[in-house]
Structure 1
Amino acid sequence: MVDSIGALGGLAIMWKRNSITFTCCTRMQNRLPSKVRSLSLNLEFIILDVYGPIPIDKKRVVWQEIEHFLRNQDAKNIIIGGDFNTILHTTDKSGGIRSIKQPYRDFANWISENNLLEIKTELGLHTWNNKRKGFCNIVQTLDRFFFKGDMSDFNSELKAIVLPWSGSDHCPVLLELLGEAKTFGCPFKFELMWFKYEDFLPNIQKWWNEGVFVGSKLYCLVSKLKDNKHKLLDWNKMKFKNIFEEKIRIEKELELVNNDVIQHGMTQTTYEAEKKLLCEYEDILAKEEIFWKQKTRETWLEDGDRNTKFFHNSVKRKRERNKII
């Protein structure tokens, strides 16, 4: 991770731990290289996360640094992606002045000279929106992925998917390697947050009394515990599915609104719809934060502080302490 400077820059890479292994290399302000190995596809490559500065002179410096990095790599396959802060074609922009300027030509020449192949995005064309209404609305394609190497190694397993934004002026772009590693079920864990529901203890007593088993006392005890565990898991899903299903619903509706804005620009209707959905989304995220806070067992922080990063790090540290090597 590379920290931002105010509202500008900043780089972070996220991945599924059960699908790939990640090793971060030397990081710079505008680029973050990492060595990646796909566990399911048995592929090794380098991914270079990039943030392109806005001034054209600084853009050219970053392009030269990336070119130098590419020339000094022994890796067979390299993926370069991020916010390049420039377009390539007139179709990459809607609204405002649409003309190909010299910086765009320089960017296209840099791509050609370094033999970079663009990974075309799916489910969306433009990745940046100034969030203004009507004729003032401008959308552009600023975020991209490029590939350098032997594409046949991936067997069409590489995809870049534009996801709906939620508050930011950029759409996230998901780089996906098809073929997931096998996942394993999580062990049963008792959660203290269950005590927040008034029907929790009465249900436990009810389920315990409902279970009737024939056999030794030890057999009956183990059977009752297993029976209560399954009923408790079903009850847990019923109580918490609303939070996560509602989050998915809002994200899908935001995606529809975003696509409408991309195709027709920002109108009063889409502006109000997005504003309403973002308020609902903020409420859902607050509820989700409480859920993660209970996962970390941290009780000294106030609810609503939105310390999601802290909670996730706390969960990670707890898991590392509990890991058996």
Structure 2
Amino acid sequence: MDNFSRKFTQWQMEMVESIGASGGLGIMWKKNSAAFTFQTKIQNWMAGKVRALSLNLEFIIINVYGPIPTDKKRLVWQEIEHFLNNQDEKHIIIGGDFNTILYSTDKSGGIKTIRQPQRDFANWINKNNLLEIRTEMGFHTWNNRRIGFSNIAEIIGRFFLKGDLTDLKKELKTTVLPWSGSDHYLMLLELMGEAKQTACPFKFEMMWFTHEYFLPNIHKWWKDNVFEGSKMYCIVSKLKEVKHKLLDWNKKKFKHVFEEKSRIEKGLETINNVVMQNRMTCETYEAEKKLLCEYEGIMAREEIYWKLKSRETWLEDGDRNTRFFHNSVKMKRAANKITHIINDSDQIIMDQNLIAKDGTKYFENILNKALLNNIPKLITKGDNQMLNSKITHEEVKMALAQFQGDKAPGPNGFPAGFFRNVGIS
């Protein structure tokens, strides 16, 4: 510790000493960039509150080194869970070497079996509503550095988020750094500003189904627009017209979800102030009742909105999961963002326009005519006849029934749920 202080004068550190060659934890922070308040320090984990001075942002960070024995792992998960249950901080980041995989796909080589430690770890994550911050670059975080069939690589290092990102206006990104000599890979967690929003294409919103006049309007617009030509041309043309009608209806009638939510919350706050000063009257009671009814409806719409964007499918209807869906969207946006690429000349490109240009060029080169000519013909004559046969209504209904209604929409912006629930033809 003294050697560290002498070498890194602008840095401070809290640490848990290792036992021999095993364990050891440390949290470092730069004096002029962050302030750290130590809270808990145990053999396998430590926690403290960090305040980023330039951002005026506070969060709790928990550094973990998971023990090998199963019973000790359970004890560590219980200790951290008890700590989490006693925290009021909005943003909590948990990271480190958990010494266990989560899924069988987290392991390359060796025996891929989900054992009790993995089940305990998964249950602990779900119970504490932890959201994993997926890696943008890199995959395995540990490699035994052996060759051939003896090589084993695993994901045992992770970052998790507990809390609400809605007011953070930032994105979290995790990167597995290049090998540095150890069998463990270093992981970098970055707090990034949100990307500038570009013009977005039309996307159908499943929350529109909650409006009482939505379905009657859709059927009316569909019948009012008549086109001549092939059936496919007529369907595509009608969908375009319905799309324009929907955008106009959404703006004038359905209204912006978040603006409506803000309006209702301000109205409830005003009524609450009046009641505190002058007590409840029949007028304020009825006004509050009406706003609370509207608020329940707007909250249901908001949850549907974020659920569709997050593409999470395992949660059941019931409790409000809006915050989880919103955080999930932000995590996916961070994971899907391409900040840089390395081209064929080993140059790092960070400009978004150059990334798009180089990516287009790359795929044009590999998807050339010569490549397509070398693809073997696997479709038999019978398969070809079946594929070219006339599509029946029953086949279309069966295909729609097999789709999950709120998954990613097609190129026209309409998901399968639109056609399944509207029933137009």
Q: Aligned ranges for residues 250-289 of structure 1 at < 5 Å?
A: none
Counterpart code for 1:35: K
Secondary structure, in 3 states, of the residue corresponding to 1:109? Answer: helix
Q: Does 2:189 correspond to 1:175?
A: yes
TM-score, normalised to structure 1's length? 0.53
Q: Aligned ranges for residues 119-268 of structure 1 at < 5 Å?
A: 119-178=133-192
Deviation at 1:158, TM superposition (A): 1.6
Flag the 1:138–1:99 CA change in 2: closer, same or farther, 3 A.
Answer: same
Q: Look up the match of 1:273.
A: none
Identity percentage over the alignment? Answer: 70
Q: Look up the match of 1:36.
A: 50
Query: How many Å separate the matches in 1 of 2:124 and 2:114?
Result: 15
Query: How many Å separate the matches in 1 of 2:129 and 2:21?
Result: 32
Mark the runs of 5 or more structure 2 residues left unpaired by the alignment. Answer: 1-14, 194-345, 347-425
- Does structure 1 retain, via aligned residues, the 8 Å contact 2:141–2:156? yes
Query: How many Å separate the matches in 2 of 1:177 and 1:13?
Result: 17
Query: How many Å separate the matches in 2 of 1:74 and 1:156?
Result: 20
Secondary structure, in 3 states, of the residue corresponding to 1:60? Answer: helix
Q: Look up the match of 1:85.
A: 99
TM-score, normalised to structure 2's length? 0.41
Query: How many Å separate the matches in 1 of 2:30 and 2:173?
Result: 16
Query: How many Å separate the matches in 2 of 1:172 and 1:63?
Result: 23
Q: Look up the match of 1:196.
A: none
- Does structure 1 retain, via aligned residues, the 8 Å contact 2:170–2:191? no
Secondary structure, in 3 states, of the residue corresponding to 2:166? Answer: helix
Q: Look up the match of 1:301.
A: none
Query: How many Å separate the matches in 2 of 1:162 and 1:106?
Result: 25
Query: How many Å separate the matches in 2 of 1:54 and 1:121?
Result: 24
Deviation at 1:165, TM superposition (A): 2.5
Tell me which of 86, 106, 111 is aligned to 1:72: 86
Deviation at 1:166, TM superposition (A): 1.5
Query: How many Å separate the matches in 1 of 2:168 and 2:138?
Result: 23
Q: Does 2:118 correspond to 1:104?
A: yes
Counterpart code for 2:67: P
Flag the 1:153–1:6 CA change in 2: closer, same or farther, 3 A.
Answer: farther
Counterpart code for 2:33: S
Secondary structure, in 3 states, of the residue corresponding to 2:60? Answer: strand
Query: How many Å separate the matches in 1 of 2:124 and 2:73?
Result: 11
Q: Look up the match of 1:45.
A: 59
- Does structure 1 retain, via aligned residues, the 8 Å contact 2:93–2:160? yes
Query: How many Å separate the matches in 1 of 2:151 and 2:95?
Result: 25
Tell me which of 8, 20, 26 is aligned to 1:6: 20
Query: How many Å separate the matches in 2 of 1:10 and 1:136?
Result: 28
Counterpart code for 2:48: S
Q: Look up the match of 2:68.
A: 54
Query: How many Å separate the matches in 2 of 1:161 and 1:23?
Result: 26
Mark the runs of 5 or more structure 1 residues left unpaired by the alignment. Answer: 180-252, 254-325
Counterpart code for 1:51: Y
85-94 vs 152-161, greater mean Cα deviation: 152-161
